[in-house]
Amino acid sequence: MSEKLNPWESQLTNLKKVSDIMNLDPSVYEVVSKPMRILQVSLPIRMDDGSIKSFEGFRIHHNTARGPCKGGIRYFPSLELDTEKALGAWMTWKNAVVNLPYGGAKGGINCDPKKLSQGELERLTRAYAAAIADFVGIDLDIPAPDVGTTSQIMAWFADEYYKISRRILPGVITAKPIGLGGSLGRTAATGRGCYFTAVEASRTYDIPIKGASVSVQGYGNAAYYSALNFHQAGAKLVAASDTRGGVYNKNGIDPVKLVEHKAKTRSVVGFPGCETFSSTDPLTVDCDILVPAALENMITLENVDDVKAKLIVEAANGPTTPGADRVLDEKRIICLPDILANAGGVTVSYFEWVQNRMGYYWTEEEVDQRLEKVMKTAFKDVYDYSKKYDVNLRYGAYALALDRVAEAMRLRGWI
């Protein structure tokens, strides 16, 4: 079996099914099934060797019914427009699920940041900020990091924007360094949010976290902090991976020592005491909790029959295809969907934006308490919608988000 859906089509498949289940007016799907704006830019950069190389960049606004757009900037070597469109739409639904006053956006540059020097990365970032400066703003579109970008890249972006606008507006971008108005707790927020939703699911579905075995695909920021929180709660990390491969130890892996090993070697591969396997093998190892934290379309009809977890917590965006979702339902595997589970990052980005705007900053404990409350409330809302329409949690999350976005569009006279 195979699935040929790209991420945009995958997102539309879920969207159409849920809008039909809810018996929504067709005008709702008509509006949200198309991005509102797409900006494509060419970025000529002088490389360190003196040559000129032109990079392709995008910024996409999916929907602004509930407020200004919010979404990440991705630096990735095979960036595609349909993927960026899907990621922008997922941000619309994610922001609505956790009830943030935002619409959805996404963007990025087609490049391999691992092959660029610091100087090249800075010049590329500043060129991108200048090219999309009229497309972003504190009340229009607030970017943040995504795959391949960092707080330092956000700092360069902010500085270039300040120069162009001739105003210092820290809220124009989030997940900045603390010294430039970043929020305490933002670095760990996505993984922390995954953990909070998993705690609520463990209580609802009787899947204990203490003593559970956890497998994580990917070992970036979201994956590491997810693994760390599960480890601190008494669970056992048994597998993890990155683009170069994966590691497995049924007796457990220390997540802190593993991230230290990756920092030194640039990969989890070779961590002492572990078997080495492929980047995708963590998806199918014997475990209680699976955290896909890499890229889109990782759990598919090709491998879903081999998934053994009782609970899946989607730290990545769109890691499960619609076809695989149906199989997970048949296998009675609980899946916490991306637009719920990984919303901790954008939630604390919202907190950062709020703090920037009021010029007053919260402690890390205050941020964490607010995040936990948001994620717990969102889980309950999604669960209630899943029961209301007799659907799984993914469709429950889409139903909740569609309801909120449709209400905003009705109130504004769009539909």
Whether residues 29 and 165 fall in one domain: yes
Q: Please answer whether residues 261 and 268 qualify as being in contact, where contact means their C-beta atoms are separated by less than 8 angstroms.
A: yes
Whether residues 96 and 222 fall in one domain: no
pLDDT at 205: 96
Whether residues 165 and 32 fall in one domain: yes
Q: What is the mean pLDDT of residues 173-202?
A: 96
Type of residue found at 99: N
pLDDT at 2: 52
**How many structural domains compose the chain?**
2
pLDDT at 296: 80
Closest to 181 (Cα-Cα) out of 224, 245, 138, 225: 138
Q: Considering the domain boundaries, does residue 10 fall inside one?
A: no
pLDDT at 1: 47
Tokens of 100: 């943030």
Tokens of 167: 């105003």
pLDDT at 3: 61
Q: What is the mean pLDDT of residues 125-154?
A: 96
Last residue of a domain, one of 180, 213, 247: 180
Domain of residue 206, residue span = 189-341
Q: Which of 94, 106, 236, 262 is catalytic?
A: 106
Q: Considering the domain boundaries, does residue 389 fall inside one?
A: no
pLDDT at 14 over 80: yes
Whether residues 160 and 194 fall in one domain: no
Report the chain's mean pLDDT, rounded to a whole number.
95
Decide if 310 is catalytic.
no
Whether residues 288 and 176 fall in one domain: no
Last residue of a domain, one of 319, 341, 363: 341
- Residue 194 sits in a domain of what CATH number? 3.40.50.720
Whether residues 65 and 34 fall in one domain: yes
Q: Considering the domain boundaries, does residue 381 fall inside one?
A: no
Q: What is the pLDDT of residues 50-89, one digit of tens each?
A: 999 999 999 999 999 999 999 999 999 988 899 999 999 9
Whether residues 119 and 196 fall in one domain: no
Whether residues 43 and 130 fall in one domain: yes
- Residue 135 sits in a domain of what CATH number? 3.40.50.10860
Last residue of a domain, one of 308, 341, 374: 341
Measure the CA–CA gap between 275 and 142, rounded to whole angstroms: 42
Whether residues 174 and 30 fall in one domain: yes
Whether the full predicted model's pTM is greater than 0.75, yes or no, is yes
pLDDT at 5: 67
Q: Considering the domain boundaries, does residue 216 fall inside one?
A: yes
pLDDT at 20: 95
**What percent of the chain has pLDDT above 70?**
99
pLDDT at 328 over 70: yes
Q: Please answer whether residues 59 and 136 qualify as being in contact, where contact means their C-beta atoms are separated by less than 8 angstroms.
A: yes
Whether residues 49 and 127 fall in one domain: yes
Q: Considering the domain boundaries, does residue 201 fall inside one?
A: yes
Whether residues 88 and 135 fall in one domain: yes
Backbone torsions φ then ψ of 147, nearest 5 degrees: -55, 130
Q: What is the mean pLDDT of residues 118-129?
A: 98
pLDDT at 23 over 90: yes
Whether residues 307 and 171 fall in one domain: no
pLDDT at 119 over 50: yes
Q: What size, in residues, is the chain?
A: 415
Task: Indicate the DSSP class of residue 299.
Answer: B
Q: Considering the domain boundaries, does residue 124 fall inside one?
A: yes
pLDDT at 48 over 60: yes
Q: What is the pLDDT of residues 231-254, one digit of tens each?
A: 999 999 999 999 899 999 999 999
